[in-house]
Copies of this chain bind each other. A is one copy, B any other.
């Protein structure tokens, strides 16, 4: 159940067996069926969530009720409304399951205690945040500096598994485009797969 979580953790900071046992006491497994919510706008994000299996999407709703996908999370990724989690204030994001999922939850309390108790957890979180920031920065930079065609190509290179696994109209939403436009980008650049 916790294999992937600790695999990823150990890639960043190597834990002893005892430390691993300690961390595990703070984790809670959770299964989620396709289409079920992990978090709804307005609720407080009580947990940060690691995806052991399955896939999630995070999105905001605009005034017309349309979904704008802000992030995907596949196996090995961490997901949550970070602002809501850190400040324990109402979430602006919705998160739900694209597929049946096996998740690992870390509550705010568990997170705070681990930060205090285990220096390696602190290091892990710092590295996680740093990596997440660099990835988001790359995405933002592409967004303002590349043509749509290049942005889509960059996406297929950077996250081939997302592009393969997720319906196209969600990729379009993630890029901030209409599904029709993405379809035309694909047909003109022959990037079908």
**Bound complex: CA of A176 vs CA of B70, how far in Å?**
18
Task: Give A170-188 as 1s and 0s: 1 = Cβ < 8 Å from B's Cβ atoms.
Answer: 0001111000000000000
Q: Which of B69, B134, B138, B143 contacts A176 (CB 8 A)?
A: B143
In the assembled complex, A22 has its CB within 8 A of some CB on chain B: no
Question: Of A122, A125, A133, A146, which is in contact with the most chain B CB atoms at under 10 Å from its CB?
Answer: A133
Interface residues on A, range: 20 to 34
Flag A87-119 by CB within 8 Å of B: 1 or 0 each.
000001000000000000000000000000001
* In the bound complex, CA of A112 to CA of B89 (Å): 33
Q: Is A169 an interface residue (CB 8 A)?
A: no
With A68-B145, A139-B140, A141-B60 already in contact, the answer to whether A122 and B126 are too (CB < 8 A) is yes
Whether the Cβ atoms of B129 and A70 lie closer than 8 Å is no
Min CB gap A182→B, angstroms: 13
Q: A70–B141 contact, CB under 8 A? A: yes
A136 in contact with B134 given A122-B126, A176-B144 (CB within 8 Å): no
Shortest distance in angstroms between A72's beta carbon and chain B's nearest beta carbon? 13
Q: What residue of chain B has the Cβ atom nearest to residue A174's Cβ?
A: B144
Kindly state whether residue A166 has any CB partner on chain B within 8 Å.
no
- Chain A to chain B contacts (Cβ below 8 Å), 13 pairs: A68-B141, A70-B140, A82-B137, A86-B134, A126-B129, A129-B129, A129-B133, A132-B133, A133-B133, A136-B137, A140-B140, A140-B143, A145-B176
